[in-house]
Amino acid sequence: MLGTAIGVGVGQAIGRDTEGTLIGAAIGAGAGYIIGNESDKKKARTEPEPKPEIVQSPAKTQADNDTTVNIQNDNGSVSPVKLKKQGVGYVGPKGEYYDHLPAEEELRQAGYGL
């Protein structure tokens, strides 16, 4: 759109008639399209890809009694929290006991993660 307007102005200034104005408008529109299209392509190549969504899934570690819950931090990093199976519950790294496998939010409230 801006290319067309500039082309109209230049065409009128140079040709001082309708034909010059129309030629300027056509050239300006074409140039504006090409420049805008290349700009859009460049922007698409330089934009970072969206971060993959990390889904919380307890991962079994070496021993069957150990479970790791990954906490996704606000900055996109992940903090693993290792829990030990004890009876029907789990014991956290600080010695706290959960009577169930704690969710990511519950561990965050207990002070894990960033």
Q: What does the pLDDT read at residue 8?
A: 47
User: For the chain, which residues make up each domain, given as ranges?
Assistant: 2-46, 59-109
Q: What is the pLDDT of residues 9-60, one digit of tens each?
A: 555 566 666 776 677 667 777 767 787 777 777 777 776 766 666 555 555 4
Query: What is the pLDDT, as a whole number, of residue 42?
Result: 76
**How high is the pLDDT of residue 10?**
55
User: What pLDDT is stored for residue 9 in this prediction?
Assistant: 54
HEC readout, the chain:
CHHHHHHHHHHHHHHCCHHHHHHHHHHHHHHHHHHHHHHHHHHHHHCCCCCCCCCCCCEECCCCCEEEEEEECCCCCEEEEEEEEECCEEECCCCCEECCCCCHHHHHHCCCCC
- What's the pLDDT tens digit per position in 58-110? 554 445 688 899 998 888 889 999 999 988 899 999 999 999 999 998 998 99
Q: Is the dihedral of CA 105, 51, 67, 82 positive or negative?
A: negative
